[in-house]
Amino acid sequence: MSMTLWGDVVISFILTLFADRLGRRRILMLGAALMAASGLVFAFSGQYWVLVAAAIFGVISPSGNEIGPFKAIEESILSQLSPAAIRSDIFAWYVLLGNAGTACGMVTCGWLVQWLQTLDGLTAIPAHRVVFAIYALLGIVKLILAIMLSDRCESGPPEQEYQKVTELNNIEIESLLSRDDDDDITQDQPAPKPNTKSLPPLPKKNYTLFPSISPTSRTTLLKLSVLFSFDSFASGVASASWITYFFTTKFSLPEGNLGSLFFTTSIIGALSNLVASSISKRIGLLKTMVFTHLPSAISLALIPLPATAFPAMTFLVLRACTQNMDQAPRQAFLAAAVLPSERTAVMGVVNVVKTLSQSGGPVLTGWLIGMKKFWMAFLIAGALKAGYDLAMLKMFLGYRSREEVEVQLERRGAGA
């Protein structure tokens, strides 16, 4: 699992850096083609290293979540096409549909594998190969949908963004100057307007595939990357694969029951995103992220404590109620904190950091299993996630995103 995650790191880093230059739709089509190819390899090949290569380049996630390079591109496109006022709603539906698809896949594959094994002469491995054949078919469908995307999904020209940022800077400068000259300006005299007719020329820059990230965005990116790394490491310690293994080994749950269990938790997690969007409009994105994610961290730590299956499943369901409620506000928060032209690269870097951090989780969990202390993995993961929530609140409470500052400057300039 760690090797697959490390492969995601390399591919994610390369493709997200070049996505805006090479074309977002091209990268999405490449991802769909790799998905279909890896599914076919798993469906027809039994060679270990061939399967490892297919899992790495096909970005098959052992955690059950999409953390590859294409997620960052999709989120960047959604941020570009949606207004800031409804962006959290858009991301809520994006996460909801993704989780709903994951839930349907879990329950379908669980019962399908169990049913196929009841047929004469069909063992577990051939049954699972049927699942990967379906995975390849879905990759082909995704490729067709990526081809149908319009030009609006591509990154806009840098000249437009440069003009907008320059105008906002002029508004800020003029508003500061007008404060100093209040004594010389009468109430009937209109305030000076920012000079946006003659903008300085766009600085010439040699052509490069690599995107540029402003100093302010780099500072925000560094803080968020450190925090997200702790949360992602905890997710790797108690990933969906390890939770499935825990319920299989400790309580001997069959595949069909496991599929139904994770279908239920995924549906609950998907629907909770709509509630999170409504909450974020009342208390803000940051507080929604923290106050909804913290209860799920506590529930995660309590999963291994019961001696029977039902209480452990109850804690798993309770975790699902708020586990995903931070996803849509978090992506909206990140999109608002950086410039539009930086979003693909920034979100790609964040996903790389999260994937890299998550790759160490299975190693720790495997070592704990070898030490007969599997239960400690859940306690460690819960403690790390709770610490991430509290640190996030401490570092960014009162923080105003770049878009919030721009709106304030625009209103100040309009009222001047």
Contacting residues for 251 by C-beta, under 8 A, at least 6 apart: 308, 309, 312
pLDDT of 308 strictly over 60: yes
Burial class (CB in 10 A: 0-12, 13-18, 19+), 207: exposed
Confidence label for 347 from pLDDT (cuts 50, 70 and 90): confident
Mean pLDDT for 48-56 is: 80
For 57-110, give the DSSP string. Answer: HTT--TTSS--SHHHHHHHHHHHHHS-GGGHHHHHHHHHHHHHHHHHHHHHHHH
412, pLDDT greater than 80: no
pLDDT above 80 (res 99): no
Asked if residue 375 has pLDDT above 60, the reply is yes
The token duo for 301 is 């730590």
Question: In whole numbers, what is the pLDDT of the chain averaged over residues?
Answer: 78
Instruction: Quickly state the pLDDT bin for 386 (edges 50, 70, 90).
Output: very high
**Would you state the pLDDT for residue 67?**
53
pLDDT for 144-196, tens place per residue? 999 999 888 887 655 455 445 444 445 444 443 343 444 443 444 444 444 44
Q: According to the model, what pLDDT value does residue 195 have?
A: 47
Distance CA(153)–CA(27), nearest Å, equals 12
Terminal C-alpha separation, the chain? 58
Residue bearing the bigger pLDDT, 58 or 151: 151
pLDDT in tens, 253-282: 887 788 788 878 878 877 887 888 888 888
Amino acid at 232: S
Q: How far apart are CA 73 and CA 256, in angstroms?
A: 34
At 2 the pLDDT is: 58
Dig out the tokens for 226 from the structure.
């450190």
- 37 vs 142: CA distance, rounded Å: 12
- What value does the mean pLDDT take over residues 225-250? 90
Amino acid identity of residue 92, one-letter, is A
What's at 361, amino acid-wise? G
Q: At what angle do helices 343-359 and 327-337 cross, to 10 degrees?
A: 130
Question: Which of 165-174, 197-206, 287-296, 343-352 holds the top average pLDDT?
Answer: 287-296
